[in-house]
Amino acid sequence: MMLTPDDILTHFPITEPFKFVDEIISLEEGRVTGAYTYPPDAFFFKGHFPGNPVVPGSILQETAAQIGLIPLGLQCLLQYHKTAVAFDKEQLLASKMDDLFYLVSSDLAFKSVVRPGERVMVYAEKIFFKLYKLKCNVRIETAAGQPVASGIMAGIVNIENILKQDIWRQE
């Protein structure tokens, strides 16, 4: 069962001012593409850097995690243990997802800066999902295709939270 981009955006577990997802452009088996435009009045530009604002690397990393890891993590949960345990799509989307996923590692190489008002594209591709850990190749580019950052990110599912919510079912 596949999630749709609308499923992701409608039930996204992070809200303003820390939500860095405007659009999920495509969501396929093991792959997602999304976009975000950093508003010129975003809270972090005032101090990073006064007179020469750029998007902090930590915010770019968070953007990659939100666009890449969260949608792919949800998709992987729906397909995990196809013959033994599965998750009901509607129950998963209705669950309390604010304690479902955690970033555990990020190894991004930064290549250029992003300025206020710029739109970035994030491309993520699953390397593996096992034992509730998701590892992905991620790439961030400007809307014009200029490389911003690339590397590997990993996240983990808080399986204890899922079990408490009883959102899994036996096949």
Greater model confidence, 148 or 168: 148
- Predicted pLDDT of residue 7: 86
Predicted confidence (pLDDT) at residue 76 exceeds the cutoff of 50: yes
Structural domain spans, the chain: 5-170
Does residue 170 carry a pLDDT above 90?
Answer: no
pLDDT at position 120 over 60: yes
Q: Which token pair is 97?
A: 């997802």
* Mean pLDDT across the chain: 87
Closest CA relative to residue 135, chosen from 155, 120, 151: 155
Q: Has residue 92 got a pLDDT over 90?
A: no
Predicted pLDDT at 171: 46
The mean pLDDT of 41-64, rounded to a whole number, is: 96
Catalytically annotated residues? 48
Residues 6+ apart with CB under 8 A from 72: 30, 31, 32, 124, 126, 129, 134, 136
DSSP secondary structure code for residue 135 in this structure = E
The architecture in CATH of the region 5-170 reads Roll (3.10)
- Which amino acid, 105? S
User: How far does Cα 83 stand from its chain's mean position?
Assistant: 27
149 in Cβ contact with 108 (< 8 Å): yes
